[in-house]
A and B are shown apart, each in its own frame.
Chain A
Amino acid sequence: MSNPVNGSVRMETKDLSVRYGPAIYGIQNVSMPVHANKVTALIGPSGCGKSTFLRALNRMHDLNSDVEITGQALLDGEDIYAPQVDAVVVRRKIGMVFQKPTPFPTKSIYDNVAAGLRLVGIRKKQVLDEAVEKALTGAALWDEVKDRLKSPGGSLSGGQQQRLCIARALAVEPEVLLMDEPTSSLDPASTLRVESLIKQLKDQVTIIIVTHNMQQAQRVSDYTAFFFVGELVEVSPTGTIFGSPREERTKEYLSGAFS
């Protein structure tokens, strides 16, 4: 399925559980769809498992040998945890942007964006130049940095660094982009820029975003999933969740009963 229909199910989890030890569940039996070219927001109080869930979607838990994962996470119907599937290939299709901007400190702006392509063997300067410009334009950063592509990535402001990280993730043309509280370390102006960027990007990629900010979830997302103590409470179109949630717990959370 190279051209998924807008809105069709792109990813889907089936009874996905992540355990940090014999009886310590990060998330338990989460089953939910992720729709193509839509933004799905994951909300819930701290420690509810939304980040754990997000990181399970591109096998970021693999390096921690204490973590045990059961259930399935399907991308276009194929389980990314199937034994014959290589985690590296999964991560190339499912990119990630983290809470704190993480530019590669020793690399220039250009090299940061080109890193993913170059490290998988693309060497042609022309191809790289085009990909870098495309990714930086996509991340709404090109105009600000086009004259200083050789400067270190660390010399940018926090908001620019986060957009650089988005550009870096976009450069390898992922099918799904996971964002773990991408604006929590940014000022309001930078936050708005990243949010409008997310809305533009959903034409190209399917986005799943973890956020603590209810307004942000309402502003950017098409679907919202509410997590509570390791369980998925409900997932619905964003308007429904915030307007007339099915579950009592969702209603209480949204009204500030617990946080």
Chain B
Amino acid sequence: MTLKARYARDAAIQVGVVLMTLIVVIPLLIIIVYVVANGITALNLDFFTQELGSPARAIQGRPAGLRASIIGTIVIDLIALAMALPFGIATGIMMSEYPEHPFAPVTRLMVSTLNGMPAVLMGLLAYALVVKNTGGFSALAGSVALAFVMIPIISRTTESVLRVTPWSLREAGLSLGLPRWRVTVSLVLPAARAGIVTGALIAFARAAGEAAPLLLTSFGNNYFSMDLTQPMDTLPQRLYSLAISPYRQWHSMGWGGAIILLLFVMLTFYAGRIAVKKMEERALGVNEERRTARRKTRKDRREANQ
């Protein structure tokens, strides 16, 4: 093959890669632009400070908003994350650190199954476990359903970051006479914390967008409520019910809600990225180096002034 032909092939492959990327990125941009264009007019002060109430409110132009859904989403998702973290991390540790344990293959099978299971089934599960036994829809039931969505994600990311943690770290700990659990808890987990945090945030963002598991559990509530034992509103489930409603005013609010949900998920990822970067820098001593550099600069300046 001549040099010219090689250049041509290189160029062709590059064009192909760019085209494929555009095909992926453009629909995403269209979605964002479309959602923003349709929903931006709905975003006013009322939108964030009022509850939805009955359809009559919006139709008659009285103040109505999605305050209940926004706060509900945050509350239900945070509780779900708190529930899912210990289980997700523990199962991740089981798969990575105790592969010879009889539970390990079972755990792996369960996590893969959970991961591939449609989210609506998580809702059914939480319905059977919590709603049926407590006598009604509740925010807590919603959290349980979302925790089931989060667990396999946290579990898998935990397993994969633990696996890439150098084996030498474990050996160094063991050679000091530390028991295995100590090595895992005090050495391996801290070394992998940035990855575990990332996994938790991915799980959080993913669950924040789920409507199906919540329809059967936290159910939704047109009115603001902070009672965890009662139905509570969330953005994805509210978007669904606004979208299928026959009221034009509600459709508009639904688009507004979609903007908020989009922002919520994007901010979660962004915050996660920053947190992870901070942690990695601290682990590598970058801040320490910066402080030393700053001290040195100050000292140099003082000396220059004298």
Contact = CB atoms under 8 A, between A and B. Distances in A.
Interface of A: 58, 60, 63, 65, 88-93, 95-96, 98, 100, 102, 104-106, 115-116, 119-120, 151-152, 154-155, 165, 168-169, 172, 178
B285 A155 contact: yes
A151 B291 CA distance: 11
B283 A105 contact: yes
A95 B176 contact: yes
Contact of B172 (A98, A152, A154): A98
A152 B285 contact: yes
Interface string B280-305: 00011100110000000000000000
Nearest to A90: B177
B172 A104 contact: yes
B182 A119 contact: yes
A232 B284 CA distance: 42
A116 B186 CA distance: 11
A91 B174 contact: yes
Given A152-B285, A154-B283, A155-B288, A91 B175 contact: yes
Given A98-B168, A102-B168, A151-B285, A119 B186 contact: yes
A96 B175 contact: yes
Contacts of A178: 175
A89 B172 contact: no
A95 B284 CA distance: 26
4 nearest A-B residue pairs (beta carbon): A92-B177, A96-B175, A116-B176, A152-B285
Interface of B: 100, 166, 168-180, 182, 186-187, 190-191, 193, 283-285, 288-289
A99 to B, nearest CB: 9
A168 B284 contact: no
A106 B288 contact: no
Given A89-B177, A92-B176, 12 more contacts: A60-B171, A60-B174, A60-B175, A63-B180, A88-B177, A91-B174, A95-B176, A105-B284, A119-B182, A154-B285, A165-B172, A169-B175
Nearest to B178: A119
A88 B171 contact: no
Contacts of A172: 176-177
B16 to A, nearest CB: 40
Nearest to A117: B176
Contacts of B168: 98, 100, 102
Contacts, number: 83
Contacts of A168: 172, 176
Max chain B Cβ within 10 angstroms of own Cβ: one of A91, A93, A154: A91
A152 B176 contact: no
A22 to B, nearest CB: 18
Given A88-B178, A172-B176, A104 B285 contact: no
24 contacts: A60-B171, A60-B174, A63-B174, A88-B178, A90-B177, A91-B174, A91-B177, A93-B177, A95-B176, A95-B177, A98-B171, A100-B168, A104-B187, A115-B176, A115-B178, A115-B186, A115-B187, A119-B186, A152-B283, A152-B285, A154-B284, A155-B289, A169-B175, A172-B177
Max chain B Cβ within 10 angstroms of own Cβ: one of A106, A155, A168: A106
A100 B171 CA distance: 12
Given A102-B169, A105-B169, A106-B190, A95 B283 contact: no
B175 A106 contact: no
A116 B173 CA distance: 8
Nearest to A178: B175
A63 B182 CA distance: 15
B186 to A, nearest CB: 6
Nearest to B193: A106
Contacts of A155: 285, 288-289
A65 B171 CA distance: 15
Contacts of A93: 177
A117 to B, nearest CB: 9
Contacts of B166: 102
A65 B100 contact: yes
Given A92-B176, A116-B177, A152 B288 contact: yes
A58 B182 contact: no
Given A100-B168, A116-B176, A106 B182 contact: no
Contacts of B288: 151-152, 155
Contacts of B284: 105, 152, 154
A172 to B, nearest CB: 6
B285 to A, nearest CB: 4
A109 to B, nearest CB: 10
Contact of A106 (B174, B180, B283, B289): B283
Nearest to B169: A102
A70 to B, nearest CB: 20
Contacts of B190: 106
B165 to A, nearest CB: 9
